[in-house]
Amino acid sequence: MKILITGSSGFIGFHLSVLLLKKGIKVKGIDCMNNYYDVKLKKARLNILKKYKNFSFSKINLENEKKINLVFKKFKPKIVIHLAAQAGVRYSIDKPRVYLKSNIDGFFNVIEASYKVNVKHLIMASSSSVYGANRSIPFKEIDKTETQLSIYAATKKANESMAHSYSNIWKIPITMLRFFTVYGPWGRPDMALFKFTKGIINNTPIDIYNNGNMYRDFTYIDDIVKGIYLLINKIPNKKQIGKYKNDSLSNVAPFRVLNIGNSNKVLLLNFLKEIENRLNKKSKRKYLPLQKGDVKETLSNINLLKSLTKYNPKTNYKKGIGEFITWYKDYYK
């Protein structure tokens, strides 16, 4: 099997590539190695991937339509997993246009290129942030998603619409994954776990939004990549209509959106407390109001993913934090 992964030097793309390579799958990675966060971290992940003989890499920006088309034409992937994007809710307040370039133009190029090489299954990253101001917890795929609170979330919602329309017209099987706060070793420096750990170790104050009164459905990276792996052969198909309860499968196209979360909500202050326990050190806290564009609570309903696959997220947040801190201390020693 040959799989093309965009965003392979990113947090999720790296872990997914490792899992697939270990299974003997041929992986082509694409990433522009941008400096949204520490490029050294992206290079370190890439260097690990380069040790596998089944891995090849192209440093390309998604916005470069010609280069993207060429790589797809040469590699001829049957499966494409599109994870590259400008991520992060907070940065999208200051730099909204960056999101339009990567997440709209770049996304479109990936869909076009996938269509041209006739992929069997296109799996693409969306986000739990599309649920926006929804109040009905836990979030279900078939809930309405009309109230995104940030441009980041709006681009992800636009991606879902664009993907559905292409799936409808060209009958490309597409699964859109709504990720819920992914964390773990090699994680992103712009996310809470990394920032809290770094702040505590370096004795610098950490920002705590909404006075810590926020809940997140933290999902451990190993559970996430196992879930994606299990989905590769679960290709959306019109014949599945009516087979699964609360299915988000389109009634006109081989298209489905899926939550991929842990289905447990954790209070941010408890998450922080566990980091302090593991480091055996107290944090210096700066309590702040809720950030613009942020949601107070996320929680996934993952019944659909469980019905489709044997997905069973096993890692609780205390264990996951422990794994991250072990990695962090070793990497930054």
Ligand X SMILES: NC(=O)c1ccc[n+]([C@@H]2O[C@H](COP(=O)([O-])OP(=O)(O)OC[C@H]3O[C@@H](n4cnc5c(N)ncnc54)[C@H](O)[C@@H]3O)[C@@H](O)[C@H]2O)c1
Name 170's Cβ contacts closer than 8 Å, sequence gap at least 6.
Answer: 115
Q: Which stretch binds ligand X (CB under 6 A): 28-36, 238-246, 248-256, 282-290?
A: 28-36
Check binding of 148 to ligand X (CB under 6 A): no
Q: Which stretch binds ligand X (CB under 6 A): 7-15, 141-149, 193-201, 291-299?
A: 7-15
Which tokens hold the place of 220?
Answer: 């451990």
Strand pairing report for 55-59 and 255-260:
unpaired
3-state secondary structure of 37: coil
Cis peptide before 138 (omega within 30 of 0): yes
Is position 152 annotated as part of the catalytic site?
Answer: yes
**Closest residue to ligand X in the complex (CB):** 10
Considering CB under 6 A, how many residues would be counted as binding ligand X? 27
| Closest distance to ligand X from the beta carbon of 78 (Å) | 21
**Alpha carbons 206 and 50: distance in angstroms, whole number:** 35
| Diameter of the chain measured on Cα atoms | 57
Check binding of 268 to ligand X (CB under 6 A): no
List 84, 113, 119, 158, residue binding ligand X (CB under 6 A):
84
Nearer to ligand X, 9 or 114 (CB): 9
Name 185's Cβ contacts closer than 8 Å, sequence gap at least 6.
Answer: 221, 323, 324, 326, 327, 328
DSSP string, 240-279: GTTTSTT----SSSSEEEEEES-S--EEHHHHHHHHHHHH
List 121, 188, 256, 265, residue binding ligand X (CB under 6 A):
188
List 62, 71, 253, 302, residue binding ligand X (CB under 6 A):
62
Check binding of 304 to ligand X (CB under 6 A): no
Nearer to ligand X, 172 or 224 (CB): 224
Nearer to ligand X, 57 or 166 (CB): 57
Fill in the amino acid letter for 313: P
Q: How many CA atoms are closer than 13 Å to the CA of 143, on its beta-carbon side?
A: 23
Nearer to ligand X, 86 or 175 (CB): 86
Check binding of 33 to ligand X (CB under 6 A): yes
Query: Which residues make up the interface to ligand X (CB under 6 A)?
Result: 7, 9-13, 31-34, 42, 61-63, 83-87, 102, 106, 125, 127, 179, 181-182, 188
Would you please indicate which residues are annotated as catalytic (active-site) residues?
Answer: 152
